[in-house]
Copies of this chain bind each other. A is one copy, B any other.
Amino acid sequence: MPDQPKYQRRKEDRPQEIADAAFAAFAENGYAATRIDDVAKRAGVSKGLTYLYYKTKEDLFKAVVKNVVVRRVDALIGDVESTDLSSEAFIRGPLLSFMKKVPGSPIAIVIRLLISEGPRHPDLVDYYYENVVARGLGAITKFIERGVERGEFRREALEHQPHLFLAPMMLSIIWRLIFAEKQLNTDQLMESQVDMLLTQLRA
């Protein structure tokens, strides 16, 4: 099943088209400043149709925010679980590469939206915690355990909080959300951190 180009008109997938348009609009203007009219215009449909699929603006928001990240996280977790690379090779390869892409990806936008709107949508936050964060951290933990079992990592590595891997990525995300590209080599930041952490973890 090849990917369809995103904004091509497909009568059969209007809800998705609308969700995509909405995501773009929310990304650009935030939740409050996005008008349903804008979303409809972007999606090339009428305002009324938006309401056919999404009962309220909030519904639309939640649907959009959920649907964006889960697809990606699923893929990454799948990778983690099925890789046959050595732990270090996986970290320096696919994981690092993924992390480098995040600050410029829709995930960063979702983080912005969660930070802005989360307090007004606790169920959305719960959803994220369960479906993204908990699962992601679980996968990393399992991955480290596997490294320990294989003798690649020291036993003490298990005590290590996996969050440290993610910290420079998060800094990079926030930096770019606020300051755009202003003078920060985010890639190098993540590489240095991985170097440091691997030095510590190595058996």
Contacts and interface: CB of A to CB of B under 8 A. Distances in A.
Interface of A: 28-33, 111-112, 114-120, 125, 128-129, 133, 160-161, 163-164, 166-168, 170-171, 174-175, 177-179, 182, 184-185, 188-189, 192-193, 196-197, 200
A197 to B, nearest CB: 7
Chain B CB within 10 Å — which of A114, A129, A167, A177 has the most? A167
A196 B201 CA distance: 11
Count this chain's copies in the assembly: 4
Contact of A178 (B32, B115, B171, B178): B115
A192 B129 contact: no
Contact of A177 (B115, B166, B171): B115
A156 B156 CA distance: 28
A30 B33 CA distance: 12
A33 B119 CA distance: 11
Nearest to A193: B164
Contacts of A182: 129
Given A32-B32, A129-B182, 5 more contacts: A30-B116, A112-B115, A118-B177, A164-B168, A171-B171
Contacts of A167: 167-168, 170-171, 189, 193
A83 B163 CA distance: 31
Nearest to A195: B200
B174 A115 contact: yes
A133 B168 CA distance: 16
